[in-house]
Amino acid sequence: MMTAQSSPTLSPISGTPWAGASFVDNMPTKTNAQTPTQSGWTGQITYGVSGSPKTLQVNNTASANLSPIGIVGNTSARLFDPYGATGTPLGTTTEPNLDGAFEICAPAPAGSISDNGYAATDILITGSASQVTNVAELAGKSFVFNQYCDPINQAAPQTLTFDSAGNANFGLYTGSTNSGPLTAVPVPAAAFQSAMTGTPYGDAQQGQTLWTVYRFVTATQTVKYVVVERRSADGNYIGMWY
């Protein structure tokens, strides 16, 4: 079971995801010894907004540096799995072939700085994940950013680190580029905490940002975190810190 967060269309942005997406594979139970390299592995991901779901057919044809599963019959969409980009998923406690977070990208809109022609439209989070609402849990953790389903083209990815008090420290690109020198942008723990629980950071003129944080457990009992970022500026983009 997956939950989906989609790019908002209005400002200010909402902090409520739709808990309606799902992943279905071709096995009758989750206990069979199925792997992504098994011949004939198929399934589908259903996601979108309530009342208007979208479905992607997937199989075990890995896309190099993107995901250990591939999309069938849809060349306009990409599926990025940061945890299984090398071809083998970490899996979750409920589905060994499905990692805890996926990014779906479609053709980038006009004016995008994407260097591969794609930009994220949705972030899918496994339904077995738990939402993190206390920034203190992120103390000492670090993340990198993806918005374009193509991390290998970013020689110096944007970064997010948290100090021992939960203050966020971003290393961000500036100007019209998605590479190059990073500029330090601090966000106090209290402000990040508020954005985690539905109060956007920033203002309507410069852009409002929400960070929704999840933790999930891999098939080998390792705890992973993912930060979903949505912002009302720059076309209401969505991306993930992982």
Radius of gyration of the chain, Cα coordinates, nearest whole angstrom:
17
Q: 151 or 192, which is more confident?
A: 192
Same domain, 148 and 88: no
Residues 56 and 156 in one domain: no
Q: Render the burial of 78-100: b for 16+ CB within 10 Å, e for the rest.
A: bbbbbbbbebebbbbeebbbbbb
| 115 and 221, same domain (yes or no) | no
Give the confidence band of 18 by pLDDT, cuts at 50, 70, 90: very low
Q: 139-178: buried (b, 16+ CB within 10 Å) or exposed (e) per residue?
A: eeeebbbbbbbbbeebeebbbbebeeebbbebbebeeeeb
Indicate whether 150 and 209 sit together in one domain.
Answer: yes
Q: Are residues 91 and 139 in the same domain?
A: no
If you average pLDDT over every residue of the chain, what do you get?
Answer: 81
Q: Give the pLDDT band of residue 224 (cuts 50, 70, 90).
A: very high
pLDDT band of residue 97 (cuts 50, 70, 90) is confident
pTM confidence score? 0.86
Given a contact cutoff of 8 angstroms between Cβ atoms, the answer to whether 2 and 26 are in contact is no
Position 29 pLDDT exceeds 50: no
**Of 127, 152, 179, which residue sits at a domain end?**
127
Residues 149 and 66 in one domain: no
Give yes or no for a contact between 21 and 126, defined as CB atoms under 8 angstroms apart: no
* Predicted pLDDT at 20: 45
Residues 144 and 120 in one domain: no
Instruction: Identify the band that residue 217 occupies on the pLDDT scale cut at 50, 70 and 90.
Output: very high
| pLDDT value of residue 36 | 66
Q: At which of 77, 111, 127 does a domain end?
A: 127
**Please, which pLDDT band fits residue 55 given cuts at 50, 70 and 90?**
confident
Q: Which amino acid is at 120?
A: A
Q: Which of the listed residues 74, 108, 127 is the one where a domain comes to its end?
A: 127
Q: Based on the fold, state whether residues 158 and 61 are members of the same structural domain.
A: no
Determine the Cα–Cα distance for residues 58 and 81; give it in Å rounded to an integer. 13
Average pLDDT over residues 188-200: 94
**pLDDT value at position 17?**
44
Query: Which pLDDT belongs to residue 41?
Result: 75
As for how many domains the chain has, the answer is 2
Specify the pLDDT at position 210. Answer: 92
- Is pLDDT at 83 greater than 70 in this prediction? yes
Better-predicted residue by pLDDT, 21 or 9? 21
- What is the residue range of 23's domain? 2-127
**For residue 47, pLDDT beyond 90:** no
